[in-house]
Amino acid sequence: MSTRWYPIYQRGNPQLRVFLPNFWMKLVRPQEEQPANVVTFAVSTEMTKHDVKNYLEKIYKLPVVEVRTRIALGETKRDQTYGYVTKKDDVKYAYVTMPKTESFTFPDLFSNRAENQEKEGKSLDESKDGFRKFLDRNKKRPGTPGWYSI
């Protein structure tokens, strides 16, 4: 896309504008404990600090004070049988500092998972019971289709 291959910087306006940015950002759980006003993002590797700041301020309307980034090396792993080495992709992490007054804790998404699974287990048991009843009813007339009688 023509707005994505960057022309050289020239002073003055109008400056370069990206109309259809294709950068991605993931909000991730911080690996180390962070201050309350710092949020961790995994971002496209080609993004700069300015890009991260502009992205959050313009698209998400999030107040940003400072951005620090690092690139984490992807893990390498040697195959046990054939010995070749595979590597995962490098990831850029952005630590975004919001104003002092703000704070954000990463939500716990799977707190109700166990309950839900219990419910599903119950419905599975019910359908199992239903099938057993159906089999019992048709013991003396094998091969009868399910719609034959109530």
Rounded Cα gap, residues 58 and 4, in angstroms: 18
* Binding of residue 124 to other proteins (CB under 8 A): no
- Residue closer to other proteins by CB (options 30, 138) is 30
Residues 69-98 that bind other proteins (CB under 8 A): 98
Chain CA centroid to CA 90, Å = 16
* Binding of residue 33 to other proteins (CB under 8 A): no
Provide, rounded to whole angstroms, the least separation between the CB of residue 64 and other proteins.
10
E strand or H helix at 115: helix 113-137
Give how far Cα 2 sits from Cα of 11, 50, 55, 58, Å: 20, 21, 19, 21
As a whole number of Å, the CA-based R_g of the chain is 28
* Binding of residue 66 to other proteins (CB under 8 A): no
SS3 39: strand
Contact characters 12-31, other proteins, x per CB under 8 A: -------xxxx-xxxxxx--
Rounded Cα gap, residues 90 and 44, in angstroms: 10
Provide, rounded to whole angstroms, the least separation between the CB of residue 120 and other proteins.
7
First to last CA, the chain: 63
Provide, rounded to whole angstroms, the least separation between the CB of residue 114 and other proteins.
9
> Could you list the residues that contact other proteins (CB under 8 A)?
1-2, 5, 7-8, 19-22, 24-29, 36, 39, 42, 59-63, 98, 101-105, 107, 109-110, 112-113, 115-116, 120
